[in-house]
Amino acid sequence: MIRIIIYSILVSFSLGQFREIPDIVTKVGTAAAPWLKLETGIRAIGMAGTQTASARGISSLPYNPAGLGFVENQEAFLNKTNYLAGISHNVLGYAKRINATDIVGLHIFYLDSGEMIRYDYGGNALGDFKVYNIAVRGSYARIFTDRLKVGFTLKYIREDIWDIYMQTFAIDIGSNFDTGIYGFILGMSVSNFGPEVQFEGPGLSTGSDGTSSGVAEKKTEVFPLPMMFRLGVENEIMGTREDALIKSSTHRLIIAADGIKPIDYTVHGSVGLEYAWNEMAFIRCGTHFAHDTAGPSFGLGLHYNGMKFDYAISDYGVLGSTGQFGVEFEF
């Protein structure tokens, strides 16, 4: 009965985020590097990003570095996402357990905007260019007890737009705690904590005649990074855990919910489900609430003999949908 009450609270919280979002209370466009908020990891995307408590392994790092504590030996993964408007991003990661309690990982995110055309003030085309974004994460997680894991990430961030760029460092920190109460797992994390940033580069140096003679140098605004606070919960409805609502050695079903507060947007949330058959075949689904573009998502997975193949699709309303494919290895 208590478990049902908790489920109801979780669903009510998520549905409570589904509302009209007044423009006056949002701060969209006031933070730099908004691409740091993109969902990555195919399992995560299939579950609508509900990974603060559910994150497992190297793909957990953008959500909660404490998820690195679930790596048993070594993991490597690669995923590719065909995003909106011709944008694509790729992720490469590797993690290794170095002893019984300590795990380290490396996670590289790379985004390519695709070809764009540069124009002068008169509307004349000046040629093609691309926007490149990269985030390199070095992470460490420690298993303090069989119920508590804590993780830390230091990351290098760089964004290039034609001949100007921004670069900085930031940190993420997170925890994963098995409460021991009806199988509920809590996750918390803070992401993108770092200094304010400013663009620089030769593209900001112009002469009085508009040429790049270096007579004058323009200054861009200073912006904060898109710092985010996440709070998540996971529960195994069906599975092998002693405290699962339904005991099964063949089937596993989990529910997860996240609440997210970024500095440049209102509070929003998501709910996700994952069903597993013999830990080989997986079906995932989820949806976002109070998000300006992201909606429902769906995913499939096939895991066999240390190899994982996952696919996910996400709906972004009028912007269309995106498809993602990923491969992961455990060895």
Judged by DSSP in three states, 225 sits in: coil
Task: Give percent above pLDDT 70 in the chain.
Answer: 88
Look at residue 1 in the predicted model and tell me its pLDDT. 58
pLDDT tens string 6-49: 656 555 555 544 444 444 456 676 788 888 998 888 999 999 99
Residue 78's DSSP bridge partners are: 92, 327
Model confidence at 113, in pLDDT bands (50, 70, 90)?
confident
Residue 297's DSSP bridge partners are: 286, 314
Residue 79 is encoded by which pair of tokens? 């995923």
Model confidence at 60, in pLDDT bands (50, 70, 90)?
very high
Look at residue 115 in the predicted model and tell me its pLDDT. 74
For residue 292, is it left (φ>0), alpha (ψ between -120 and 50) or beta?
alpha
Q: Give the mean pLDDT of 315-328.
A: 86
pLDDT tens string 252-288: 999 999 999 999 888 889 999 999 999 999 999 999 9
Model confidence at 70, in pLDDT bands (50, 70, 90)?
very high
Q: What is the CA radius of gyration of the chain?
A: 21
Q: Give the mean pLDDT of 44-63.
A: 94
Q: Give the mean pLDDT of 101-108.
A: 97
What are the two backbone dihedrals, phi and then psi, of residue 86, each rounded to the nearest 5 degrees?
A: 80, 5
pLDDT tens string 180-239: 999 999 999 999 999 999 988 887 776 545 555 545 567 778 899 999 999 999 999 999
Q: Give the mean pLDDT of 47-69.
A: 94
Residue 159 is encoded by which pair of tokens? 């964004």
pLDDT tens string 74-90: 999 998 887 877 788 88
Looking at domain 2-330, its CATH class is mainly beta
Q: Where are the domains of the chain?
A: 2-330
Look at residue 323 in the predicted model and tell me its pLDDT. 86
Determine contact, residues 121/101, Cβ cutoff 8 Å: no
pLDDT tens string 128-182: 777 889 999 999 999 999 999 999 999 999 999 888 899 999 999 999 999 999 9
